[in-house]
Structure 1
Amino acid sequence: MIRPRVGLAALMLLLAGAARAQPYDSPPRPAEPRPLVIAAPTEKTLPNGLRVVVAERRGAPLVTARLVLLSGSETDPPQRAGLASLTAGLLTRGTRAHSATALANAAEALGGSVESGAGWNRSGVGITVTTPLLSRALALVSEVALQPTFAPAEIERLRAQTLDEMKVSYAEPGTLAGLAAQRAVFGSGAYGHPVAGTPGSLPRLARADIVKLHAATYRPDNAVLVLAGDIDMAGALKLATQHFGGWKRPATALAKPPPPTGAAWPEGVVVIDMPGAGQAAVALAMPAIARDAPDEPAGRVANGVLGSGYSSRLNQEIRIKRGLSYDAASALDARRQAGALRIEVQTKNPSAAEVLGLISTELDSLAQAPVPADELAARKATLIGDFSRNVETTAGLSGEVVARVVGGVPLAELPKRIDRLSAVGAGDVQAFAAKVFEPSRRRAVIAGVASEFEAGLKALGLTVRVMKQEALELERP
């Protein structure tokens, strides 16, 4: 068969027409957004007080199971920072029936891994498995949470590992500045110390402290079993009763949580002098909101505009325009009883004062003027996209449910999340910024070579207090 040839002139005309129809430098228009359809989680309570929460996610035979205790690092006694974290970390390191190695092998046989840990207002155990193996997985979760042995050898091993990690991380300006900024905001309150403890507190933790904390907080009326994935409430209740129904509820009442905050540090800048540090870490923090605050969505959007993501204002001003840092970011840390907004930037020692000044300028700007419509729409779209992607997996969906359970937010808020973020206007963001970013609430810490930026800080009219690195004790008021 003879194919007709297209002449060069005709071919050029065709290409020119195509170029006019679709310029090469114009990407195709995005498709219309598809609404996220997600059902509100359902909840039932067993006779012993254990709450069972189910978030269905059909389509794949997977379930993420998390047993969450509603107590965490805020329960650490004075001079015992890190107790809740150490206790939770030891759960997977030996039970009455299995050694740490045997537990890992049992989880691996199920195609998963059992993970345990603690944070603010939470401790717990979790695993993701296929639906047919869920009963065996919950048996393992129950054993790990309720029957740990806290063997002395395992305590010393985990303590030594944690202290070794601290030795490395505490040599980093970013670690010290971030932890000190948290202390500056929350003071001597329950939220003020490091979750993992300190080099001074960990050696003080005895096995008796661990056993006492476990007995006091690992109880069914302080726990929530969250199951996310291919399961309904009827199946969840059956499994929960089978594996946790025998968990006895203590006769004594659950202790009330301690106050989250104490006296904040005075205004001004605290400088942690680290001779020889290759960079300086600038951390600025201020009291913010609890997780269940009505203006929490506005706070998320305000943080998105300020310092969440590559296109945020802090990253634009500090990294892109001036090249002063590889990353400039902020985070809204909204906990159950209180919260903080934190900003952290690493930069050259000589530019630390300049960076702090730029941060202050951006905070003032958000409080003084509304965010332009296009910028606001872009930041909200990013937040909504992140949320939508997160709930597509059982682990992500479980995490969103746990965050609401721990924060005291009604579970019915989950399917309304996108609508709540979409409803945030420029006035809401400005009102949040005016309330939270007020200059007298800000506490700044810079860790680095003090001699290279102390004069610059004083030139900004700031009160500067310098302390040696070895003098920093994060458990002292």
Structure 2
Amino acid sequence: MTRRTMHHALALALAAWLAGAGAMAQPYETPPAPAAPRPLQIATPAEQQLPNGLRVIVAERHGVPLVSARLVVLSGAEADLPQRAGLASMTAGLLTRGTRRHSAPALASAAEALGGSIESGAGWNQAFVGTTVTSPKLSAALALLAEVALVPTFAPAEIERYRVQALDEMKVAYSQPGTVAGLTAQRAVYGAGAYGHPASGTPASLARITRADLQRAHAAAYRPDNAVLVLAGDITMADAVDLARTHFGAWKAPAQPLAAAPVATAQAWPGNAVVIDMPGAGQAGVALALPTMPAGAPERFDAEVTNAVLGMGYSSRLNQEIRIKRGLSYGARSDADLRRQAGALRVAVQTKNPSAAEVVGLIGAELDRLVQAPVGADELSARKASLIGGFSRSLETTQGLADEVASLAVVGLPLADLTQRIQHLDAVTPAQVQGFAASYFGPPRRRVVVAGVASEFLPALKAQAGPVAVVPVQSLDLESPAAPAAP
């Protein structure tokens, strides 16, 4: 067979196959509508308080002999001292790096001997230590958690090791336009409020933190009347209280009252867009933030559902418009970041430098659309199903269950919210979504930050957004609450 004959035969075979495939093709069928949410099969967590003020919360789940333990301190990055951004994160990160009884390697070995590991960290309004072990190992694990949380040594060598690692990670993070834009947008929304600075700190602030700072921060926040012990899994309330008394009962609250929480409400910058000029950046990071409300506000479920429509997941509006229809980004997302004293809705997109202004316009158009017209019933049903499904999956493990319970304690919500959340989310209507958008998404509330090669998008952004403040990246000071001035 010659090459021409072979190609002809292949072409005929392909045509025959396509004809057959066409004949066998079935008409396109619309996917079935999402089923109604199933009720959550879990009891409302129970709570008791020890005489020293420590709250003990238990979420029982029997059948598998596992328990996740999480000791949560109800103070976090919002309490960082001036010029000491990252102090709470550094304090929490060092808890597992040595105590009066164990060095850092010895702690890791002790946790591994129990079949688990100990993690620690801090965020807004919280710091924590936690582990997951089998039920028979729980008492020994709680003894280790108590040691880590109550008697850390903050050894100088470990402080310096932590500092070097954190600065290395920060150097990489601060070279990313998306990170720079997001941190600046947070400062633009919260301004001088206690939520404005980076929770993990800045290179300058981490260099200032001393061992004495860490010791004072630990003494001020880590006290039983400012803490919650969450136990989730194969345990009863009676056993939990006995274990808590054994391992945390001797923990004494200081005589002085707990300091008042710092003011963390939104104190937004003026509405000018901000550009962080990063010469040589391969892409631009676009961030938009809007001040909303605290986590305990009645419309918190409206906020979650509205966010799911706007930018949560592949089928959200932002992803559809920016990625799927126009190919301007690998992904566009939003999140409803509701904290104890205040909250914000945040949008993040990474795109080509020349398309940054177009992306800013598309985000604004989607916010406008939510204000101007109600969400269709089918779209709303699908987005709620995605949101509810994600929540349900988060409860499939004891650690996920402990995290969800702890998050309620951190923001001060009733424990019954855990079992009622699906019902509340499913009840949100198109009118409530539109009403939430009308209350919070107006143009005067929007704070826009773009980080990247300014010369490639600045003229188009000015034409769209008006006056723009331009900050060279080497001059960016995220510790300062002052807004950069537009020319």
What range is the shorter-chain TM-score in? over 0.9
Q: 1:237 aligns with which of 219, 234, 241?
A: 241
CA distance in 1, matches of 2:398, 2:88: 26
SS in 2 for 1:382: helix
Aligned positions, number: 458
How far 1:371 moved relative to its partner? 0.3
Pairing 1:303–2:302 present: no
Deviations 1:215-273 (A, max 9, x none): 11100000000000000100100100000000011111000011104642211210000
CA distance in 2, matches of 1:194, 1:253: 28
Residue 65 of structure 1 corresponds to which residue in structure 2?
69
Alignment of 1:357-396 (within 5 A): 357-396=361-400
CA distance in 1, matches of 2:252, 2:168: 38
In percent, how many aligned pairs have the same letter?
Answer: 67
How far 1:288 moved relative to its partner? 1.1
What RMSD in Å do the two structures reach over aligned CA positions? 1.6
SS in 1 for 2:193: coil
Alignment of 1:94-113 (within 5 A): 94-113=98-117
Q: 2:96 aligns with which of 92, 98, 116?
A: 92
Pairing 1:445–2:452 present: no
CA distance in 1, matches of 2:164, 2:271: 37
Q: 2:43 aligns with which of 20, 23, 39?
A: 39
Residue 440 of structure 2 corresponds to which residue in structure 1?
436
For the Cα contact (< 8 Å) 1:192–1:261, is it kept in 2? Answer: no
TM-score, scaled to structure 2: 0.92
Pairing 1:356–2:363 present: no
For the Cα contact (< 8 Å) 1:62–1:129, is it kept in 2? Answer: yes
Residue 283 of structure 1 corresponds to which residue in structure 2?
287
Query: What is the one-letter code of the residue matched to 2:82?
Result: P
Alignment of 1:177-188 (within 5 A): 177-188=181-192
Pairing 1:170–2:174 present: yes
Query: What is the one-letter code of the residue matched to 2:193?
Result: G
Query: What is the one-letter code of the residue matched to 1:273?
Result: D
Alignment of 1:73-222 (within 5 A): 73-222=77-226
For the Cα contact (< 8 Å) 1:304–1:312, is it kept in 2? Answer: yes
Deviations 1:42-74 (A, max 9, x none): 000000000000001112111000000000000
How far 1:301 moved relative to its partner? 0.2
SS in 2 for 1:92: helix
For the Cα contact (< 8 Å) 1:298–1:428, is it kept in 2? Answer: yes
Query: What is the one-letter code of the residue matched to 1:361?
Result: A
How far 1:23 moved relative to its partner? 5.9
SS in 2 for 1:200: helix
CA distance in 2, matches of 1:199, 1:435: 37
How far 1:93 moved relative to its partner? 0.1
Residue 412 of structure 1 corresponds to which residue in structure 2?
416
CA distance in 2, matches of 1:437, 1:263: 17
Residue 10 of structure 2 corresponds to which residue in structure 1?
none
Cα gap change, 1:457 to 1:120, in 2 (>3 Å): same
How far 1:387 moved relative to its partner? 1.0
Cα gap change, 1:349 to 1:147, in 2 (>3 Å): same
Query: What is the one-letter code of the residue matched to 2:250?
Result: G
Deviations 1:103-148 (A, max 9, x none): 0011111111100000000001000001110001000000000010
SS in 2 for 1:467: strand
How far 1:32 moved relative to its partner? 7.0
SS in 2 for 1:460: helix
Query: What is the one-letter code of the residue matched to 1:395?
Result: Q
For the Cα contact (< 8 Å) 2:37–2:422, is it kept in 1? Answer: no
How far 1:390 moved relative to its partner? 1.1
5+ residue gaps in structure 2?
1-22, 482-487
Deviations 1:266-288 (A, max 9, x none): 11210000111000000000101
For the Cα contact (< 8 Å) 2:371–2:437, is it kept in 1? Answer: yes
Cα gap change, 1:106 to 1:461, in 2 (>3 Å): closer
CA distance in 2, matches of 1:268, 1:314: 22
Deviations 1:168-210 (A, max 9, x none): 1101101100000000000121100001100111111011110
5+ residue gaps in structure 1?
1-18
Pairing 1:463–2:467 present: yes
SS in 1 for 2:477: coil
Deviations 1:283-332 (A, max 9, x none): 00010121111000000000000000000000000000000000000010
CA distance in 2, matches of 1:289, 1:158: 35
Cα gap change, 1:301 to 1:32, in 2 (>3 Å): closer
CA distance in 1, matches of 2:439, 2:249: 46
How far 1:24 moved relative to its partner? 8.9
CA distance in 2, matches of 1:392, 1:332: 23
How far 1:28 moved relative to its partner? 9.1
Query: What is the one-letter code of the residue matched to 2:454?
Result: A
Deviations 1:337-357 (A, max 9, x none): 001110000000000000000
For the Cα contact (< 8 Å) 1:188–1:475, is it kept in 2? Answer: no
For the Cα contact (< 8 Å) 1:267–1:463, is it kept in 2? Answer: no
How far 1:465 moved relative to its partner? 1.1
CA distance in 2, matches of 1:24, 1:85: 56
Residue 14 of structure 1 corresponds to which residue in structure 2?
none
CA distance in 2, matches of 1:223, 1:461: 45
Q: 2:264 aligns with which of 260, 270, 276?
A: 260
How far 1:35 moved relative to its partner? 2.8
Pairing 1:49–2:83 present: no
CA distance in 2, matches of 1:247, 1:401: 23
CA distance in 1, matches of 2:144, 2:29: 55
